[in-house]
Structure formats: C-alpha cells, structure tokens
Amino acid sequence: MRAIFFLLIFLSQNIFAQESDSLIIRKFFNEELSKGKSYSMLDHLSNKIGGRLSGSPQAAQAVEWGKKTMEFLGFDKVWLQEVMVPHWVRGEKEQAKIISGKEKTEVRICALGNSVGTQKNGITATIIEVKNFKELEKLGRKNIEGKIVFFNRALDPTFITTGAAYGKGVDQRGGGASEAAKYGAVGVVVRSMTLAMDDHPHTGAMIYKDSVAKIPACAISTIGATKLSDAIKLNADTKFYFRQTCEMLPDEKSFNVIGEILGSEFPEEIIVVGGHLDSWDNGDGASDDGTGIVQSIEALRLFKVLGIRPRRTIRAVLFMNEESGVRGGDKYAELAKNNNEKHIAAIESDGGGFTPRSFGVDNEKAISKMQPWVELLKQYGISEIKKSWGGGGTDINPLKKEGTTLIGYHCDSQRYFDYHHSEIDTFDKVNKRELELGTGCIAAMIWLISEYGL
Amino acid sequence: MRAIFFLLIFLSQNIFAQESDSLIIRKFFNEELSKGKSYSMLDHLSNKIGGRLSGSPQAAQAVEWGKKTMEFLGFDKVWLQEVMVPHWVRGEKEQAKIISGKEKTEVRICALGNSVGTQKNGITATIIEVKNFKELEKLGRKNIEGKIVFFNRALDPTFITTGAAYGKGVDQRGGGASEAAKYGAVGVVVRSMTLAMDDHPHTGAMIYKDSVAKIPACAISTIGATKLSDAIKLNADTKFYFRQTCEMLPDEKSFNVIGEILGSEFPEEIIVVGGHLDSWDNGDGASDDGTGIVQSIEALRLFKVLGIRPRRTIRAVLFMNEESGVRGGDKYAELAKNNNEKHIAAIESDGGGFTPRSFGVDNEKAISKMQPWVELLKQYGISEIKKSWGGGGTDINPLKKEGTTLIGYHCDSQRYFDYHHSEIDTFDKVNKRELELGTGCIAAMIWLISEYGL
C-alpha cells in the first residue's frame, strides 16, 4: 500500500513536471514563431557580412557583430576568446578546361580549402580517373607520375541520411592530394561532395601530409565530373588544365565570441550551445553555419525575453575556424580546462536550419535520462533522442575529454549537401519557420538540461 | 509449454515477416534514390505542361501525358474516366491600387478561383478592414454597403503544422465574398493564405452562396495586405481599386486517369494511391499537386520495375478538378460504387513533395493494425501513423461512405503554404531526394496493405 502511495506521488510529480515543462517549451515556440529574431539575424550575417573565411575581414566583422548583438540583447556576460587561425585566401576566379585532342571544354571548379595554387599560367597534364585510394595504389607510380588525378567516386544516394553518404566520400577531398602526390601526381581534381547533379563546385578543407609534395587540389561540379569522365572514356589521352591562385598566408588573430546567462542555482554548471562563425567564401555561409550561430544566440534570447532564468549557466559560443582547423573549438576546450570550468553539456547546430528531426547524444546514460523528453518535443518535430555517430559536432568535440555530454541538433539532412560549401549556400535556401522550429527545439533542450541536469 | 511453443512460432514468423518486408521496402528506396523517375516526371509535368486549371488546354495535355506515361510503363490496365468539370478562366493580368487622398500605391493581387470579374474598368470604392465574419456582422449594412471589404486575419504562426493554421484562416477566402455581399459590399480583398511575408498573391477556390449577389473577390499578397492595413489606419477614407476579367465558362469534358497492377491473390481488393492532376494557373503546380501525381505513378512503377507482384490490386488515380469542385473525386467514388468495386484503402499525397513525416489514417482499427509498420518506416522519416484530422485527402474522401480506409501521406508542412496556389509553386521548390523519399514511403505503405490487408 505504502509503495503504491509513494508510486502515485512520484508519478503525479512527474506528470506535473512534464506539464509545466510543456508550458515553458510552448512559450519558447510561441515567442519564436511569432516574434523570433533568428531569421533577421541570419539575414544580416548572410547578406550584410557574407562568406566568412577564417582570417578574412568578413570573419572579423562577424566577430564584431556577434559581440555587439549579444551585448545588445543584455546577456549577463559577453566576451571574446583570442585564437590564432589559419589564413587561406582563394585568389582569382579559378579556371579549368577538359582538353581532348583539339577540343577544349570549360568546366566549373573551385580550389579546395588549404590547397596551394598552380603555377601562374596553370597546369596542363594528362588526367586519370580513380574511384578510391586502392585504385591509386594499384595503378602505381608508372601510371600516375606527371599526371593529374581525378577522384570521381560519387556519393551513394541510397543512404537515407545524407551526412552518412558524405562521410563515406569525403576522404577523396580531404586526403586525395597527398595520396596522389605519393605516386608523383602533379594535381588533383575531386568530384564535388554533393548528391545533386548541377554545375556548382563545392569547396571544403583538404590536408597535406608533411612527407609528400604539396600539389594543387580543386573540386569540380558534378556536371563537370560527368563530362570529364565521359571525355576520359572516349579518349584516354584526355588532358586537364586548371589554374588557381589560392595561397596560405601567415596565421591571423581571431576570436571565439561568447555570451552567457548565469544559472540561478548551479551557476558553476555550464551548458554550451554553439555553431561556427566562420564559413567558406563562395556562398554566404547561411546554412553552414549561419543557422547554427543565430539559433545559439536566439536560444539564449528566448530565456531572456521570456524572463525564464535557467537553474544552470547557459552559454552561446560562436566558434571560429571550424572549416579549416577547428582552432576555436580547441581553444575553447583548452581554456575550459585551464579555468576549471564544469561543462555538463554542449549542444552544436551545424547541419543547416532545416526542419527538426532528432538530437544525437554521445553517451547512453544521458540518452536514457532524456527519453521522457522525446514526448515533450515530438510535436515540434523531434522524433528521437539517440546515439549519435561522430559526437555532437566538430567544435564541441574537444570538450569530450573533460567528460562533457555532447549533443548534436539534427535537422532534416536532405537539402544540406546540395548547398554545403558552394556558391548556393545562401540565405534564400533557409526557410524562416524551419529555422525557428530548430531554435525552439534547442531552447527546449537547454531548458530541460538546465532544470534536471544530466 | 505448448502455449510457449506456439508463441515462439508466432513471434518468429512475425520477425521473419518484418525482415522480409524490410528487405522489400529497402529495394523500393534503393531503386527510387538511385534510378527513380519521380523528379524527371515532375519536371515534364511542371515545366513542359505547366499550370493545369480544370477545363484548360494544359489540363487536357496532362490527361494525355498521364495516360501515355502509365501505358509506356506497362501497367496492366490504363484508362480514362470521363467527368464534366467547371471551366473558370483568369483573363487578363489583375490590377490593384490603394488610393489614399491623392496618393496611389500599386499592390499585387490575383482573382480568387470561381470569382466573377469586375466591371471592365475595374471598381473603386472605400475599403473597410475586418478580421472575421463576426466583425462584419457587427459593422452591419450601414457600414459596409457600397464598400469593398478587406479580410485581413493573418494565419496563426504558432501552429506547428501549417495546415492547421491554414484550416483556421481559409473561411475568409472560401466564404468571404458571400458573407460581405449580405451587407451590400461591392467586392472583397482577402489576405493571402500564407505564413510568409512576401509579395506573391495566393489564389484558391471561393464559393458563392445562391442567395446573395456575386461580387468580385481577389487575394492580396501579405506585403500588400500590410500596406493596405497601414493605409486604412492612417486614413479611414482609403479607397481601393481593382480590376479582374476572370469568368466562369460552361463546363468542359475532362478525365480522371487511372492505371493499375492486378493483385496476384485478391485482385478484387483495390488499394488506390492518388493525387490531383489539375492545379492553379499562376505557378506550374509542382507542389500542388504535381508531386502527388508523380509519386502515385512512380509507386506503381517501383513494383513493376522490381518485379514485385502485389497480392491485392494497386491503382494509381490522377484525379481531375480537386481545386475547384472535386468533380473527379466524386465521379471516381460514384463509379466505384456502381461497379461494385471493393476499395480497401485509398492513399492521397496532396501536401507537397517535402521530406516524409507521417501517415494520417481515418480509423482506429487500421491505425492499430499499422502500428508495427512504424518500426519499418522510421528510418525513412515516418515517425508516426496516427489519426488524421479531415480524412486522407480531398479526392479520396468521397470513398469514405463505401467504408474505404482513407490515408493521407504527410510530408513536412513548413514550406508548403509559402508556395501553395501562388506563382512560386514551381518545380525548383521541390527537392529531388525529398520527393523520392516520399515515393518510397508510399510504395512501402501500399506494399504492406497489399500483403496484410486492413
């Protein structure tokens, strides 16, 4: 009898808690969907500042904007964290041609991030197509030396989550140049990392190995890749010409931008929400990762404007340099450790501002604590809180060694890689309501962690 | 012991069934995502044929295209069902101005479907703003007679499903003209039924009551509505001018287009999947409802191309005249009854080709039978099979009185009303993979019903 009595009390407490959580969460969404600032902030970041390569004047403007915005919103504390970042510049518009006998066909390329340039007049060489590093190894130096290598393994469209398809293809972009250089290649052309068939080349980071020559690397649009592959099939002596004047300059001083609202009961327990302030330069960086930036700021603004004081400290972090080095993420984790800060959870939004789907969490204990929350978030589009492959996000992953629970906000993935790292990653691709629903879900997740801990 | 033995057999059969269903469903998705035809069919319907008002030459072309397409795909039987449809034409480009004293401001409008035109030179009258029919009643004839009534109740952005917001607002468009005419209004202007703030007016059906005068009705863009409301606030004598030459012509002969694959075991049990072939004329009708049309045809093509013979008969129905009379839907149900056909289920896709979310079903018995299927469909985006408000879809609802289970395919709703019935309901708004995932989910649902009945 007594057991039943306590069970009833326990159940009713839980039910009341769920009800009041549900009302708080509804307030976040009502405010955001009717008077939200996510979209107008994104408009400014995308259209007034634009592409924000690490070390660029635009990245500096974005830092300034982020700081002023959070100060204007009246967060309890706003500050900058200095960090030195790589400073790569694209240079002049890239050029490329397929040369088959006397026929020359222009194709659209862009330099990969961190790549060296070609000679001033570009390079021309016979081009050879491979699908992966194994094929390269099989072909060996005798077939590759002096040639340009064309990595043309398409992303697999049968993956339902596009990030999984990307994950299986991106080795070509990241490591292709150094792999090819091992066998004496003079340049690499990589099929754009997108599932769409169009004429927009997609840039993204590549990394040189120290042990081999640094050869220039570019991405070709998927339409260009198809043309190039067809040309090689027709004529094995097909040549490729490309010219790019990109270069790596000395490191630049930059900043993470941080704003926080102090917790009322456990101010020493910190919940981070963040995205990255830098972007590639060819588009305006709206989806990668302007959306994560404005959702992070806006989630805190919702607490502020609704007069909801969190029990734990909540902190919006605008990380610098995710795209080409993660220096901001590393610096943040380093300082968190040095300052003995206790980060109980970090949430990252870096998959675009599309319609909400799920949260991915890096540890089973937290996942199991969060399961009742799915019922609260379901009506807003969150159908699961589940184990996440690859942690919560590139910027927050360095916090893992301090035992922080890492959480990725996962919105719908179908459109993301259509725009990602390309000239069509622009403001008009983001839907106002989808962005706002994401902000609401993130604010709700912060609220629940702040109330109940992990 | 024996009970446990049978339980084990039962469980293992169920597990094997789920496994083999899961493989079949995976085949649908693999085929569709790598070699699907949904997108190229939609390209043709949207860009080669375009907007398809009932009774228009484009609607006739779409009928021809639908029949030829399904014949080419080798369905077991393809046929037309004759149906007389309303034939409303828009006429010349509509014009409108806000007139405040000497100041004239052009605004963007479009005639509502079924509306009469204005006089040849347009009409000009004092305009009065209301939010709903109650306000109209309160104002009464003395305040309304001789004026134009402006219905300006915005859709409520705090609804999470946009269809719910639309449902709460659309009385203004559908019945506003006759309500205003009761009090002697000479015209109505209705705020566009969209949650977006932009300059695209959204058309859609309105219906006249027989008992009152037929006065011209148009939709104004949400930006225009804001300007107009501001002008009225500043000057209560603000006038409005609009001109539209739309008119209702005599009914035209048209057709539903039907293709079917016969069931191997229960050919007399029919599962319908459909969308509507007609559309409004200002855009190209890609999202409303080109997507439903191509998903319906493609779902059957997947069975055909994969050599999967359904146990029950499956039928793609391209309904005519959903937008302005539902004559095709009514005719289909009438003939189904006259021919003693047994329709066990009907699925409609008429919410765009966005990323999959759920199926809505009109009866609890079917919902409960379908619950184990959620597990099979979850990885493809279907997080729920649940009770649906408003049946499965306008075209299939007339089948309800025959006891057919009605099922709506529900994709993500956030973007739909941004485009719906406007000039920006165009092909480029549809994402290839989102469309294909929808096709896969619909094919999977047909497969499961065909295998297990309802």
Q: Do B414 and A30 touch (CB under 8 A)?
A: no
% of chain A beyond a pLDDT of 90: 94
Tokens of B349: 């896709």
> For testing the chain B interface, which of A34, A410, A433, A439 should be mutated: the one with the most B CBs within 10 Å?
A433
Reported as type and span, the H/E element at residue A184 is: none
Is A13's pLDDT higher than 90?
Answer: no
B218 and B94 Cβ atoms separated by less than 8 Å: yes
Rounded to 5°, the CA angle B276-B278-B281 comes to 140
Q: For residue A107, how far is the Cα from the chain centroid?
A: 27
Q: CA of B447, closest CA in chain A: separation in Å?
A: 20
Q: Do A412 and B412 touch (CB under 8 A)?
A: yes
- Is this complex's ipTM strictly greater than 0.90? yes
Chain B residues near residue A433 by CB distance under 8 angstroms: 157, 162, 195, 414-415
Nearest CA in chain B to A357: B381
Q: A428: which DSSP letter?
A: G
Average pLDDT over residues A130-142: 98
The values of phi and psi at residue A316, to 5°, are: -90, 125
Reported as type and span, the H/E element at residue A199 is: none
Q: Do B160 and A29 touch (CB under 8 A)?
A: yes
Residue B253 pairs in a beta bridge with B84
Q: A233: which DSSP letter?
A: H
CB atoms within 10 A of CB B92: 10
Q: How crowded is the C-beta side of A31, counted as CA atoms within 13 Å?
A: 24
d(CA A110, CA A217): 9
- Closest CB to B414: pick one of A157, A355, A384: A355
Is A198's pLDDT higher than 70?
Answer: yes
Number of Cβ pairs closer than 8 Å across A and B?
57
A147 and A141 Cβ atoms separated by less than 8 Å: no
The chain-wide mean pLDDT, for chain A, equals: 96
Q: Mean pLDDT in each 10-residue stretch from start to end of chain B (454 residues)?
A: 51 63 97 98 98 98 98 98 98 98 97 97 98 98 98 98 97 98 98 98 98 97 98 98 98 98 98 98 98 98 97 98 97 98 98 98 97 97 90 94 96 98 98 98 98 96
- The pLDDT, as a whole number, for residue A14 is 57
d(CA B272, CA B279): 20
- The pLDDT, as a whole number, for residue A219 is 98
What is the pTM (predicted TM-score) of this model? 0.95
Confidence of residue A391 (pLDDT cuts 50, 70, 90): confident
- The pLDDT, as a whole number, for residue B1 is 47
d(CA B228, CA B248): 29
Which residue carries 């045809």 as its tokens? B297
CB atoms within 10 A of CB A311: 17
Which residue carries 């007594």 as its tokens? A2
Q: Do B160 and A412 touch (CB under 8 A)?
A: no
Pairing of strands B342-348, A123-130: unpaired
Tokens of B120: 């040849």
Query: Residues A339-353: pLDDT tens digits?
Result: 999 999 999 999 999
Q: Do B33 and A158 touch (CB under 8 A)?
A: yes
**A328: closest CA among A267, A393, A391?**
A393
Q: Do A432 and B196 touch (CB under 8 A)?
A: yes
d(CA B316, CA A422): 39
Q: Does B324 lie at the interface with A, CB-CB under 8 angstroms? A: no
Distance linking the first and last C-alpha atoms of chain A: 32
- The pLDDT, as a whole number, for residue A1 is 46
Q: How crowded is the C-beta side of B62, counted as CA atoms within 13 Å?
A: 36
- B171-181 helix and B162-169 helix, angle to the nearest 10 degrees: 0
d(CA B341, CA B335): 8
Q: A378: which DSSP letter?
A: G
d(CA B285, CA B279): 5
Q: Does B352 lie at the interface with A, CB-CB under 8 angstroms? A: no
* Pick from A55-64, A422-431, B8-17: least confident: B8-17
Residue A81 pairs in a beta bridge with A256
Residue B28, CA distances (Å) to B39, B302, B307 in order: 15, 6, 11
Residue A342 pairs in a beta bridge with A269
Nearest CA in chain A to B412: A355
Q: Do A196 and B432 touch (CB under 8 A)?
A: yes
Is A213's pLDDT higher than 60?
Answer: yes
Looking at chain A, the number of H-run helices and the number of E-run strands are 12, 16
Residue B128 one-letter amino acid: I
Chain A residues near residue B158 by CB distance under 8 angstroms: 29-30, 33-34
Residues in chain B: 454
CB atoms within 10 A of CB A364: 9
Question: Which residues contact residue A137 at a Cβ distance below 8 angstroms, ignoring those fewer than 6 apart?
Answer: none
Is A319's pLDDT higher than 70?
Answer: yes
Is A2's pLDDT higher than 60?
Answer: no
The values of phi and psi at residue A202, to 5°, are: -115, 120
**B346: closest CA among B267, B403, B404, B259?**
B404
- Among residues 184-213 of chain B, which lie with CB inside 8 Å of chain A? 195-196
Give the DSSP letter string of A122-143: -EEEEEEEESSHHHHHHHHHHH
Question: Can you give B375-435 as a three-state secondary structure string?
Answer: HHHHHHCCCEEEECCCCCCCCCHHHHHHCCEEEEEEECCCCHHHHCCECCCCHHHCCHHHH
- Closest CB to A412: pick one of B160, B162, B355: B355
**A104: closest CA among A270, A239, A3, A233?**
A239
Average pLDDT over residues A247-273: 98
- B2-35 helix and B364-377 helix, angle to the nearest 10 degrees: 70
Residue B257 pairs in a beta bridge with B80, B318
Residue A66, CA distances (Å) to A62, A404, B420 in order: 6, 25, 36
Chain A residues near residue B412 by CB distance under 8 angstroms: 355, 412
d(CA B112, CA B124): 18
- Among residues 415-444 of chain B, which lie with CB inside 8 Å of chain A? 415, 418, 431-434, 437
CB atoms within 10 A of CB A101: 11
d(CA A341, CA A322): 22
Chain A residues near residue B160 by CB distance under 8 angstroms: 29, 379-381, 437
**B287: closest CA among B134, B404, B398, B411?**
B411
A36 and A306 Cβ atoms separated by less than 8 Å: no
B19 is catalytic: no
d(CA B276, CA B296): 10
- The pLDDT, as a whole number, for residue B391 is 79
Q: Which of B129, B322, B323, B436 is catalytic?
A: B322
Q: Does A381 lie at the interface with B, CB-CB under 8 angstroms? A: yes
Q: Which of A322, A348, A423, A436 is catalytic?
A: A322
Q: Does B374 lie at the interface with A, CB-CB under 8 angstroms? A: no
The values of phi and psi at residue B373, to 5°, are: -70, -25
The values of phi and psi at residue A210, to 5°, are: -65, -30
Tokens of A157: 């469209």
